[in-house]
């Protein structure tokens, strides 16, 4: 029996690995194609087709990490449904192998592929994404306005680079939280935790938390090692919450994939006479989307109330594993 399972397990791991890789590649290609078509309207004498193509090509691998969970889930379900059609799942169960063991073995292929992509993202994809931003910087005239509350000031600005800013807006409030002063400045510099206004006759300086010196896009495109290093330099609770959220997102990504596969895999062992395999796959994918919504809600809530971000990521995973364990007990 052990030799039988080893033979089937190797085949199942290889099949789920290949299918998951194909699903992720297809999703990546579709996203690239749609984005390229939308960006073609921005072609000009300065920004030709080759520039647009290069910018999108460099950023696409890192951008594709957002499809990792869903593509691994779909790949596993397709592999299991193929085995189910061939009668292999029924054979393995009749040979005494539990559904949980079969699902976990089938998830090894996607997990191995996920670790490969995570490694490449940390060592290669993020660098390519940064290169994409450098290529696009001369043509990017729509910088995101960043707003930050410090003491009694609400200040917004647009970043030119890590040190220079422009379009600065300053709103000052009194003790009754009413607007007492507002002004606009053309440009300034960020340095040593302070904002220096450079286009004013009177030198004006405003204090800022450290996280303001790194935009959200910059933090999101930072490697795990960079985030861990940044965390040691930040003292504000808001800063730590933002960085912790990104750190735990990377750390819990493989566990999140396992939890989704664990729950959705139980659908493959329902009675296929009453419901087709296609319906089971659709239900499994729906579970993945619902999980994403629950996870986003959990993260947003814990960020708002300044609670532990580790619990914010573990809570949805625990719910999935609990529901999956309950379903497997009913099989």
| pLDDT > 50? residue 284 | yes
Residue 110, number of CB atoms within 10 A of its CB: 31
Instruction: Say which residue, 197 or 233, is predicted with more confidence.
Output: 197
Residue 87, domain member (yes or no):
yes
> Look-up: residue for tokens 């090692």?
225
Q: Is 204 helix (H, G, I), strand (E, B) or coil?
A: strand
61-71 tens-digit pLDDT: 999 998 899 88
Calculate mean pLDDT across residues 300-312.
Answer: 87
pLDDT of residue 236: 53
Residue 37, domain member (yes or no):
yes
Are 135 and 172 found together in one domain?
no
Q: What is the pTM of this model?
A: 0.77
Residue 188, domain member (yes or no):
yes
Q: Could you tell me which of 102, 83, 79 has the C-alpha nearest to residue 15?
A: 79
Are 130 and 156 found together in one domain?
no
Are 131 and 26 found together in one domain?
yes
Are 183 and 313 found together in one domain?
no
Residue 223, domain member (yes or no):
no
150-208 tens-digit pLDDT: 667 777 777 766 667 777 888 887 777 777 777 888 888 877 667 788 776 666 777 66
Q: Point out the domain boundary residue: 210, 238, 267.
A: 210
Residue 195, domain member (yes or no):
yes
Structural domain boundaries enclosing 178: 145-210
pLDDT of residue 173: 78
Calculate mean pLDDT across residues 143-155.
Answer: 70
Residue 306 Ramachandran class (φ > 0 left, ψ -120 to 50 alpha, else beta): left
Per the structure, the count of domains in the chain is 2
CA distance linking residue 80 with residue 89, whole number of Å: 8
Q: How far is CA 132 from CA 46, 138, 229, in A?
A: 16, 11, 24
| pLDDT > 50? residue 120 | yes
Q: What percent of the chain has pLDDT over 70?
A: 82
Task: Give the DSSP letter of residue 25.
Answer: H
Query: How confident is residue 114, by pLDDT bands cut at 50, 70 and 90?
Result: very high
Q: Are 31 and 65 in contact (CB under 8 A)?
A: no
Q: How far is CA 2 from CA 7, 96, 113, in A?
A: 9, 10, 25
Are 101 and 164 found together in one domain?
no
Are 200 and 280 found together in one domain?
no
Are 19 and 161 found together in one domain?
no
| pLDDT > 80? residue 231 | no
Are 129 and 154 found together in one domain?
no
Residue 221, domain member (yes or no):
no
Are 33 and 116 found together in one domain?
yes
Q: Point out the domain boundary residue: 186, 210, 234.
A: 210
Are 85 and 172 found together in one domain?
no
- Between 2-39 and 68-85, two packed helices, what is the crossing angle to 10 degrees? 130
Are 284 and 173 found together in one domain?
no
Residue 236, domain member (yes or no):
no
Are 291 and 258 found together in one domain?
yes
Calculate mean pLDDT across residues 28-38.
Answer: 93
Residue 189, domain member (yes or no):
yes
pLDDT of residue 274: 44
């Amino acid at each position: 029996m052990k030799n039988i399972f080893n033979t089937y397990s190797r085949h199942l791991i290889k099949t789920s690995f290949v299918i998951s890789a194909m699903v992720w590649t297809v999703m990546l290609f579709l996203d690239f194609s749609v984005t390229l078509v939308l960006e073609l309207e921005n072609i000009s004498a300065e920004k030709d087709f080759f520039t647009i193509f290069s910018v999108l090509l460099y950023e696409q691998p890192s951008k594709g990490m957002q499809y990792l969970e869903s593509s691994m889930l779909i790949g596993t379900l397709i592999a299991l449904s193929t085995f189910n059609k061939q009668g292999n799942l029924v054979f393995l169960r009749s040979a005494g192998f539990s559904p949980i063991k079969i699902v976990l073995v089938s998830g090894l292929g996607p997990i191995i592929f996920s670790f490969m992509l995570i490694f490449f993202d940390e060592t290669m994809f993020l660098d390519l994404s940064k290169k994409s931003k450098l290529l696009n910087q001369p043509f990017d005239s729509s910088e995101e306005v960043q707003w930050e509350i410090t003491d009694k000031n609400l200040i917004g600005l647009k970043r030119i680079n890590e040190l220079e800013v422009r379009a600065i807006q300053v709103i000052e409030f009194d003790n009754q939280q009413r607007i007492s002063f507002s002004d606009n400045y053309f440009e300034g510099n960020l340095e040593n935790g302070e904002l220096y206004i450079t286009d004013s006759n009177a030198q004006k300086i405003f204090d800022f938390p450290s996280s303001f010196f790194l935009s959200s896009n910059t933090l999101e495109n930072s490697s795990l090692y960079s985030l861990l290093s940044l965390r040691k330099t930040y003292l504000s609770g808001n800063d730590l919450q933002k960085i912790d959220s990104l750190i735990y997102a990377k750390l819990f990504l493989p566990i999140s994939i396992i939890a989704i596969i664990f729950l959705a895999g139980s659908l493959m062992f329902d009675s296929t006479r009453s419901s087709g395999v296609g319906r089971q796959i659709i239900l499994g994918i729906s579970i993945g989307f619902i999980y994403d919504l629950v996870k986003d809600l959990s993260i947003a809530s814990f960020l708002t109330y300044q609670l532990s971000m580790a619990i914010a990521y573990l809570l949805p995973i625990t719910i999935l594993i609990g529901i999956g364990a309950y379903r497997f007990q009913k099989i």
